[in-house]
Amino acid sequence: MKKKIRFYQSINTKIVFIIVMLLVFALQIIGANFITQIERRLVTSFQEDRQAQIDFLESTVQPYLEEYENNEESEIDPREEINDLLSEFSGSGITDLQVIDQNMVVLGNSDSTQQDTLGQLSDDTDVRDVHLSGNTLAIQVEDSSSGARKWKIVEPVYSSSGEEFLGIILMESNIESVYTQISDITVIFLQSSAVAIVLSLILANMVSRALTKPIKEMQTQTRAIAEGDYSGTLKVYGEDELGQLAFLINELSDEVAEAQESIDSERRRLDSVLTHMTDGVIATDRRGKIVIVNNMAETMLDVTNEEVIGKNLLKVLDVEEDLTLRKLLEEQEDILINGTSVEAPTVLRASFSLIQRETGFISGIVCVLHDVTEQEKIEAERKQFVSNVSHELRTPLTSMRSYIEALADGAWQDPDLAPRFLEVTQNETDRMIRMIQDLLHLSRIDAGKSELEVELVDLTELLDHVLNRFDMLIHSSDYAGKNYHIERHLLNTPVFVELDTDRMMQVLDNIMNNALKYSPDGGTITGRMRQTDQSVIISITDQGMGIPKNDLVKIFSRFYRVDRARSRAMGGSGLGLAISKEVVEQHGGRIWADSKEGEGTTFYLSLPYIPFEEDEWS
């Protein structure tokens, strides 16, 4: 996150650079203007000085030239006068000063080393030009040997009347000093500029540092905020824009800290809700890739967080073949899937909903998994039950109908058939009534409306009583020709148990009835009793057809019969053991069976029993 700012990118450098550049530009413009002006003024004043000098010289020399030209008699040679004048004038920067007559002959020369030119014709081209033109010539020339710049004035001299050309004055003066002066000034200017630039560099640096210091502090602070550290506070240096900005950053930091805190607590709350939910929750991004999965969903699908994060939701739910993401987005219908729990197969209902922004943009899907195994089981049982009841009722009704039809068709007049047919319909009706009674009994137990009327009963006596009844029954005419025998191995002592006598008799009757019913060839039926620390166990064993191993548990379910046809033929409804089980469980006991096909069956019935201590009776 932290990005190093290069030297040239720094605002500090930029400010210093701009200030110094501005100064340099200003100095350049001022300097250029100033130096040109000075140069012009100095040169002009130099030229004017020289012109004044030559004008003065002209007026001084003029009488001597006039005298010379007119060959006037005098005591002193005018040429000497002129030479004296010239030597007086020379110096102070004048390098060459000559007076030339109207015939171009040099009359006087200020340079004592060039006295040999006197009387000679002047070879100066400028002099010749002025001689021809009669006008003053003022030009800058360069010394061929030294290269120094010189100001050369060639001035024609006229007689006082102004009509007669008398000669020429040539003056060369050193203008170089003026230029030297200018370059001196330039050097001074440049030096002061350099000092100014250095000073401004230091000053600009100080100013920009003062400006950028708070900015740097803000930078550090905002970086800290971005990294989640809200502890720092910026110093507010003043009321200016930077001060206000610092103040606002401080406020922003406080607000971000608060917002972050509330987001964190919100997230924690959400996490804890998700963790402790009894439903599984899976959230995905907009492409259906899983981003959140809670503990319950992990358990339900038998996966780990790492395994599924980033995976496709439909793949994880194993519904890729039946469902597409598009369909899910369009319809969001609940689906049933198989859970992969380790213990037992489960059925899960997956409900989907979209995570949608206000704009309608779908940013993900939430899938809630609910374990509906129990519900589905109950639903299946309910369906099975309804189908069973209808089936059980339809069979006797159909048979009754056919008998009644036969009777109506004339059989009622048949003295042999009519009573038999009526007996069948009566039996079927009885069976239906029994079945309905059984069903009503079960439904009362289911609804918790069947209350036991318990009393302290001697179980040994009760079992003995039941066995006695059946002993009488097998010796009655109904069972004539069948060889049944009842054996008993009961306890010698009374065993007092709290139970509802009628109901328990019903259970024992049912087991005994079955023992007879499913032992078509007769055989011994043995009633046993045993006592343990916490319970008393009754068992009734027959030597009948037995029950296949797979059916042993199922026979206690409603309407379940191993051999439907036989059971029905024997008047069974398939509800007897179901009711027995409910009743025994109401007593806090347990019922189960053990059997070997073809050899016989034993039904066990265990009831809770706490043996009384001897002393309690004494």
572 binds ligand ADP (CB under 6 A): yes
How long a stretch of residues is the chain?
618
Among 293, 300, 562, 591, binds ligand ADP (CB under 6 A): 562
Distance CA 438, CA 432 (A): 10
Give the DSSP H or E segment for 34. Answer: helix 11-69
Number of residues that bind ligand ADP (CB under 6 A): 22
Q: How far apart are CA 289 and CA 276, in angstroms?
A: 23
Q: Are 501 and 512 in contact (CB under 8 A)?
A: no
Q: Pick between residue 143 and residue 585 the one whose CB is nearest to ligand ADP.
A: 585
Smallest separation, CB 515 to ligand ADP (Å):
5
Q: Which one of 151, 230, 518, 609 is in contact with ligand ADP (CB under 6 A)?
A: 518
Q: What is the distance between the alpha carbons of residues 512 and 527, in angstroms, rounded to a whole number?
A: 9
514 binds ligand ADP (CB under 6 A): yes
Asked if 61 and 157 count as a contact pair (C-beta separation under 8 A), the reply is: yes
User: How far, in Å, CA of 302 to CA of 315, rounded?
Assistant: 14
Helices 501-517 and 576-586 meet at what angle, rounded to 10? 150
DSSP 72-110: ---SS-HHHHHHHHHHHH-BTTEEEEEEEETTSBEEEES
Shorter beta-carbon distance to ligand ADP: residue 62 or 399: 399
Strands across the sheet containing 535-541: 484-489, 523-531, 535-541, 600-608, 590-596
- Output 350 or 525, the one with its CB closest to ligand ADP: 525
Q: Find the binding residues for ligand ADP in span 330-349 (CB under 6 A).
A: none
Are 170 and 94 within 8 A, CB to CB? no
Q: Which amino acid is at 482?
A: K
Return the residue of 573, 582, 583, 607 that touches ligand ADP, per CB under 6 A: 573
Provide, rounded to whole angstroms, the least separation between the CB of residue 601 and ligand ADP: 4
Comparing CA positions, the residue from 87, 176, 171 lying closest to residue 130 is: 171
232-240, 293-301, 540-548, 607-615 -> range binding ligand ADP (CB under 6 A): 540-548
Strands, DSSP E only, in 274-357? 280-284, 290-293, 335-339, 346-356
Task: Check binding of 539 to ligand ADP (CB under 6 A).
Answer: no
Q: In what order do the strands lie in the sheet with 346-356?
A: 290-293, 280-284, 362-371, 346-356, 335-339
Closest CA to 343 of 293, 302, 381: 302
| β partners of residue 151 | 140, 173
Q: DSSP letter at 134?
A: -
Does 557 sit near ligand ADP (CB under 6 A)?
Answer: no
Q: Quick one: which of 66, 371, 428, 542 contacts ligand ADP (CB under 6 A)?
A: 542
Q: Which of 284, 294, 601, 606 binds ligand ADP (CB under 6 A)?
A: 601
Which residue is it, tokens 């065993």?
A: 495
Site string for ligand ADP, 24-63 (x = CB under 6 A): ----------------------------------------
Q: Which stretch binds ligand ADP (CB under 6 A): 82-90, 146-154, 210-218, 566-574?
A: 566-574
Among 101, 576, 591, 609, binds ligand ADP (CB under 6 A): 576
Which CB sits closer to ligand ADP, 53 or 573? 573
The nearer residue to ligand ADP, 276 or 554, going by C-beta atoms, is 554
How many other C-beta atoms lie within 10 A of the C-beta of residue 29? Answer: 10
Residue with Cβ nearer ligand ADP (128 or 528): 528
**In the complex, least distance from residue 389 CB atom to ligand ADP, rounded to whole angstroms:** 14
Piece of 3-11, 345-353, 449-457, 512-520 that binds ligand ADP (CB under 6 A): 512-520
What CA–CA distance (Å, rounded) separates 14 from 22? 12
Of 539 and 573, nearer to ligand ADP (C-beta) is: 573
153, 50 Cβ separation under 8 angstroms: yes
Among 110, 539, 543, 567, binds ligand ADP (CB under 6 A): 567
167 lies in the binding site for ligand ADP (CB under 6 A): no
Place of tokens 């259970």: 507
Q: In sequence order, what DSSP letters do the residues of 204-241 get, joined into one string? A: HHHHHHHHHHHHHHHHHHHHHHHTT----------SSH
Instruction: Give the Cα separation of 128 and 104 in Å (integer).
Output: 8
Residue 392 makes contact with ligand ADP by CB under 6 A: no
Tell the smallest beta-carbon distance from residue 398 to ligand ADP (Å): 19
Stretch touching ligand ADP by CB under 6 A, among 67-75, 174-182, 286-294, 574-582: 574-582
Q: x/- string (CB under 6 A) for ligand ADP, residues 449-488?
A: ----------------------------------------
Structure tokens at 597: 């096909």
Q: What is the rounded CA–CA span in Å between residue 461 and residue 465?
A: 6
Instruction: Select the residue interacting with ligand ADP from 131, 152, 441, 561 (CB under 6 A).
Output: 561
Residue 545 interacts with ligand ADP (CB under 6 A)?
yes
User: Smallest gap, in angstroms, from Cβ of residue 454 to ligand ADP?
Assistant: 24
Name the one range near ligand ADP by CB under 6 A: 116-124, 343-351, 476-484, 541-549: 541-549
For residues 520 and 481, is the Cβ–Cβ distance under 8 A?
no
Among 317, 574, 582, 609, binds ligand ADP (CB under 6 A): 574
108 binds ligand ADP (CB under 6 A): no
Interaction of residue 602 with ligand ADP, rule CB under 6 A: no
Neighbours of 86 (CB within 10 A): 23
Tell the smallest beta-carbon distance from residue 354 to ligand ADP (Å): 52
Residue tagged 């009583």 (tokens)? 465
Please identify which residue in 463, 555, 583, 607 interacts with ligand ADP, judged by CB under 6 A. 555
Report the residue from 82, 85, 515, 591 that binds ligand ADP according to the rule CB under 6 A. Answer: 515
Cβ count within 10 A of residue 367 = 24
280 vs 544, beta carbon nearer ligand ADP = 544
Binding residues for ligand ADP (CB under 6 A): 510, 514-515, 518, 542, 544-547, 555, 561-563, 567, 572-578, 601
